């Protein structure tokens, strides 16, 4: 998440499109509070991620990692920068 915040700062969108935090948990709650968080099909939702979206990985009861979608899935795998 620190990398995503750094990139957002370089683009001038830190705090508006991406929160200033190194915590995936804090970021997820930030997006949920804004009504911008959606669950993908893998997690029981209906949302299909698209380029520019952040994808949060959930493991062992917590959000543990984040990547930015860079393009459409290839052979069912998300294309990300992390």
**Cβ-based neighbours of 81, under 8 Å, separated by 6 or more:** 67, 68, 70
Q: Give residue 14's pLDDT.
A: 96
Q: Give residue 76's pLDDT.
A: 83
Q: Give residue 21's pLDDT.
A: 96
Q: Give residue 26's pLDDT.
A: 96
Model's pTM, two decimal places?
0.88
Q: pLDDT tens for the chain, 82 residues: list them.
A: 999 999 999 999 999 999 999 999 999 999 999 999 999 888 899 998 899 999 999 888 899 999 999 998 899 889 999 9
Are 40 and 55 in contact, with CB atoms under 8 Å apart? Answer: yes
């Amino acid at each position: 998440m620190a990398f995503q915040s750094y990139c957002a700062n370089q683009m001038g969108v830190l705090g508006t499109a991406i929160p200033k935090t190194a915590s995936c948990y804090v970021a997820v709650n930030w997006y949920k509070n804004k009504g911008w968080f959606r669950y993908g099909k893998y997690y029981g939702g209906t949302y299909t991620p698209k380029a520019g979206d952040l994808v949060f990985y959930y493991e062992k009861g917590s959000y543990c990692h984040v990547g930015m979608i860079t393009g459409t899935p290839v052979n069912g795998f998300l294309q990300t920068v992390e």
